[in-house]
Structure 1
Amino acid sequence: MPKGIMVVQSSPSDPSGEDEYDQWYTEVHIPEVLAVPGFVSARRYRVLGDAEPGRHSHLAVYELEADDLTAPVKELRARSSSSAARPPLGPPPVVTIYELLD
Structure 2
Amino acid sequence: MPKGIMVVQSSPSDPSKEDEYNDWYDNTHLPEVLAVPGFVSARRYKVLGGAGPSQHAYLAVYELEADDLTAPVKELRARSASGGTTKSDLPPLGPPPVVTIYELLD
What TM-score comes out, normalization by structure 2 length?
Answer: 0.93
Residue identity opposite 1:8 in structure 2 = V
In the other structure, the counterpart of 1:91 is: 95
Residue 61 of structure 1: aligned partner: 61
Residue correspondences, number:
102
Number of the residue aligned with 2:18: 18
RMSD (Å) for aligned C-alpha atoms: 0.8
* Structure 1 gap ranges (5+): none
Q: Secondary structure at the match of 1:19?
A: helix
Equivalents in 2 of 1:2, 1:85: separation in Å? 30
Q: Distance in 1 between matches of 2:87 and 2:55?
A: 24
TM-fit CA distance, 1:54? 1.3
Letter in 2 for 1:2: P
TM-score, normalised via structure 1 length: 0.96
Matches within 5 A, 1:24-39: 24-39=24-39
Q: CA deviation at 1:14?
A: 1.1
Specify every segment of 5 or more residues in structure 2 that has no aligned partner in the other structure, as ranges. Answer: none
